[in-house]
Amino acid sequence: MLPANLLIDLHSTFPPDRFYTDPVDCYAYAYDNSRKIFPPDAVLFPLTTEEVQRVVSLCNRYQVPLIPRGRGTGTAGGSLPELGGIALSLERMLKIISVDPANRVIVAEPGVLNQSVQNAAKPYGFFWPPDPSSAQFSSIGGNIATSAGGPHAVKYGTTREHVLGLKAVTGAGDFITTGCYTTKGVVGYDLTRLLIGSEGTLAVITEATLKLTALPNTVTGIIAHFRDLTSCTTAIVNIMALPQLPSALEFLDSGSLNLIRNRYPNMLPMDADAMLMIEVDGFDDDTFAAASAILKACQADGLIRVNQVNDTAALWKARKALSPLLREIAPKKINEDVVVPVNTLPQFLNGLTQLSTHYQLHNVNFGHAGNGNIHVNLLINPDNAEEVSRAERCLDEIFDLVVKLRGTLSGEHGIGSEKRAFVTKEIDCATLDLMRNIKQLFDPNNILNPGKLFPATE
């Protein structure tokens, strides 16, 4: 329950269509793609930085949790109001403030969809490289909160590489401006990169200056099928050792291929046990040379066939079919987006096979092999307590393997609430204490997205 005086203050600031308190209206903001549900006590829809500052100030005064939210497409529980409080939905901050082709910049509010940024940039011959699978529905504020990536991060990098500056309101209610408008700038600490990936725990982003990239004029695709996992991972390592970098390099294991075969029987060779979907982009001769080099790099023992395809939409058909199929075959999937160094992929994927076999779990793996970012999916029945226990033990060992291989627990989904218990596997105590101190400095009363990112302290 929110304090009565806070409700009075908020009603005086926000009209009824931008301030929900009815539990039925609030329910749509109780969950994200993690499938967990934590209803907020209220939902607010600010339109300006000043309104955000007003809300932050009031939540500080009444010690009420405030949970910034984009479009709720995250999978790690980062936007869940676990402790109640107010969900601060930024979905109505929808202005594209400027498009500046001379400086290759777009300035936009946090509620603008990723796809809307692409649509605004395309007429000028540019695009914004972050391309998560939710690009048509996710907001740039959400992309920034988790440093979203996607298939093309292998060549272009994640969100962190494509944001020049931010405007934001800290948890203390201070308005700050980070970064600059230019691609060069080294004045002061890099607070922009600190806020990117902070999942709304430090500040509420109200404006972003985004760096654009020139659209390639040539795009081609390559599909390679392999008889076994070993030959496929050998090809991945060979491809990533080339000077010519693919713009996307996606991997599907035998579990993924079997799911697709069950729905689309004629799409894949029956004897394929692993598959690579590769995209090459650039400018004419460079693209041709890169595609030729990658085709040769696929010639590992166990290759069934490799084909170049010009219809890149068809290239992604199998990949895009996977997520809905996973949801159909299991009541729940534990989905992790771990990253390991590319040259350790053979060891990691073999380790996954051994662990899933040991714990008797169905496991489907696919993802962005070009930067070692594998989406591990443990398929379980949440009503089977013994199976859930096995899955938890398996996941714990998977994370141990990732860290042992010098990997990281999350490449693009973030930590949120789903992975916070495992953070100490990767981050030592002194570093974690420093991070908590930074949180305290930005948000002294711990009102912004409390409880996220960090494991509980005893």
- In tens, the pLDDT along 120-176 reads 999 999 999 999 988 889 999 999 999 999 999 999 999 999 999 999 999 999 999
Domains and CATH numbers, the chain: 4-89 (3.30.43.10), 96-214 (3.30.465.10), 218-404 (3.40.462.40)
In this structure, of 93-97, 108-112, 331-335, the range with the lowest mean pLDDT score is 331-335
Cα–Cα distance for residue pair 215/111, rounded to 1 Å: 24
Helix (H) or strand (E) holding 299: none
In this structure, of 21-25, 308-312, 405-409, 412-416, the range with the lowest mean pLDDT score is 308-312
Q: Is 372 left (phi over 0), alpha (psi -120 to 50) or beta?
A: left
Strand partners for 177: 167
The pTM of this model reads: 0.93
Q: What percent of the chain has pLDDT over 90?
A: 83
Are the CB atoms for 74 and 414 separated by under 8 Å?
yes
What are the residue ranges of helices labelled H in 147-284? 153-156, 191-195, 229-240, 254-263
Are the CB atoms for 410 and 368 separated by under 8 Å?
no
* 300-317 mean pLDDT: 85
Cα–Cα distance for residue pair 75/129, rounded to 1 Å: 21
**What tens digit of pLDDT does each residue of 212-236 get?**
999 999 999 999 999 999 999 999 9
Are the CB atoms for 327 and 333 separated by under 8 Å?
yes
b/e code 425-439 from CB counts within 10 Å (16+ = b): ebbeeeebeeeeeeb
What are the residue ranges of helices labelled H in 106-228? 114-121, 140-146, 153-156, 191-195
User: Which token pair is 437?
Assistant: 């101190």
Q: Looking at 147-273, which runs of residues are DSSP E strands? A: 163-170, 175-179, 203-211, 213-214, 218-226, 248-252
